Structure 1
Amino acid sequence: MEITVDCAKDCVNGCVLGEKCPHREHAAEASQFIKETSLDKMLEMAEAARLKKLTEPPKWVIPDDF
C-alpha cells in the first residue's frame, strides 16, 4: 500500500517520508545552493526576477465559460 503525501501541507515542519521522499534530490540541490550562495547574491537574483516581472506585458486570462 502506497501512502500519498501532499508535501505542501504535510511536510510544513519537515519531511514526513524521510529516506523514502521522492524529492530528496531537489532538497540536496537546494541545500547546496544555500551553502554556496551568499545572501547578497540571493537578494540580487530576487531583485532581477522582480524587475523582469514588472517589465513583462500583462497576461490576459479569459475564462472558459465566457
Structure 2
Amino acid sequence: METKKVNCQIECVNGCILGEECPNQTYVKETANFIENTSLDKMLEMAEIARLKKLTEPPKWVIPDEL
C-alpha cells in the first residue's frame, strides 16, 4: 500500500485527515502528556525564556551568492 503524502501544516489545520495512518501519531501522545502534566504558568515561563534567548542572539546575516 502506498503511503499518502500530506502537508500537515496546511491540510490538517482542523484535525488530522489520516487518522491512524498518520506518521506523527507518536508526537500526539507526547504532546498530550506534556499539556496534561505541565501547568500554564510553567509553559508561559518556558516561552518567556525562549523569547529572551532569541532576543539576545546576535543577528544572522545572509549574504547572497551573487552581488
Shared fold, TM over 0.5? yes
| 1:27 equivalent in structure 2 | 28
TM-score by length of 1: 0.91
Consecutive unaligned residues in structure 2, runs of 5 or more: none
Q: Deviations over 1:1-60 (max 9, x none)?
A: 432111011100000000000000011111110000000000000000000111111111
Q: In structure 2, how many angstroms separate the alpha carbons of the residues matched to 1:26 and 1:7?
A: 13
Structure 2 partner of 1:9: 10
Distance in 2 (alpha carbons) for counterparts of 1:65 and 1:26: 41
Aligned residues: 66
What secondary structure is seen at the aligned counterpart in 1 of 2:30? helix
Partner of 2:62: 61
Structure 1: state its 5+ residue gaps: none
Amino acid at match of 1:36: N
Query: RMSD of aligned C-alpha atoms?
Result: 1.0
Percent identity reads 64
